[in-house]
């Protein structure tokens, strides 16, 4: 699983966005990190949010993005 690495503030923001708008935080993280698979995951989370599965998946990914951002951001990685 390739979770994008973002700056600390972005990681926190993407967690909040994923809680409020399922999949959007993951999609933005994918765009910011230029990872196509993360963008697809964000779209799938958004589309599946109405059956709750996408929303839970989105919160989980938001948490992973947040944790990875807290571990440390290395520019260019």
Quick: pLDDT tens for 2-52.
Answer: 888 888 999 999 999 999 999 999 999 999 989 899 999 999 999 999 999
pLDDT of residue 74: 58
pLDDT of residue 2: 85
- Give the total number of structural domains in the chain: 1
Q: Domain for residue 63, yes or no?
A: yes
pLDDT of residue 76: 54
pLDDT beyond 60 at 77 = no
Q: Is 5 helix (H, G, I), strand (E, B) or coil?
A: coil
pLDDT of residue 58: 96
Q: Domain for residue 44, yes or no?
A: yes
pLDDT beyond 90 at 71 = no
Which residues span the domain enclosing 28?
8-69
Q: Domain for residue 62, yes or no?
A: yes
Q: Domain for residue 1, yes or no?
A: no
Q: Domain for residue 14, yes or no?
A: yes
6 to 32, 47, 52, 66, 67: CA distances (angstroms): 8, 24, 26, 8, 10
């Amino acid at each position: 699983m390739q979770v994008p690495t973002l700056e600390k503030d972005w990681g926190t923001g993407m967690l909040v966005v994923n809680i409020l708008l399922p999949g959007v935080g993951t999609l933005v993280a994918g765009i910011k990190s230029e990872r196509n698979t993360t963008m697809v995951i964000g779209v799938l989370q958004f589309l599946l949010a109405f059956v709750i599965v996408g929303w839970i998946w989105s919160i989980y990914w938001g948490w992973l993005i947040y944790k990875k951002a807290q571990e440390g951001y290395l520019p260019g990685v």
